[in-house]
Amino acid sequence: MNSTTSPSDDMPDFSNVESGASSTAETVEPAFKTYEIQSGDTLSKIAKREYGDANEWRRIFEANSDTMNNPDKIFPGQIINIPL
């Protein structure tokens, strides 16, 4: 190092850098929406409303297999996932 340079002269100047977030990561849409079971609901009724086909109830059941053991045993207030 010569006498005309100091250690800070070798460092880049970031004094004009502004903070902020930027990402090139792809935004991923959720694969499901949540729904609160209402009195009188069945998985078939929910499937008919959501997909236009009551026979799609198994799709909802399988998406909730971690919290639902029996497709006939759902209750008002229960929150389930409905696959999109």
Q: Checking DSSP bridges between strand 79-83 and strand 32-36, what pairing results, if any?
A: antiparallel
Quick one: which of 14, 2, 70, 76 has its CA closest to 39? Answer: 76
- Here the CATH number for the domain that contains residue 59 is 3.10.350.10
**Is residue 14 domain-resident?**
no
Backbone φ and ψ of 46, nearest 5°: -65, -45
Band (2; pLDDT cuts 50, 70, 90): low
Domain hosting 49: range is 37-84
Q: Cα–Cα distance between 51 and 75 in angstroms, integer? A: 21
Sign of CA dihedral 14, 18, 24, 26: positive
User: Is residue 22 one of the residues assigned to a domain?
Assistant: no
Place of tokens 């399988």: 62
What is the reported pLDDT for 21?
67
Q: Is residue 64 in some structural domain?
A: yes
Q: Count the domains in the chain.
A: 1
The answer to whether residue 15 is domain-embedded is: no
Report pLDDT digits (tens) over 10-68. Answer: 888 878 877 776 667 777 777 999 999 999 999 999 999 999 999 999 999 999 999 99
Contact indicator for 8, 15 with CB cutoff of 8 Å: no
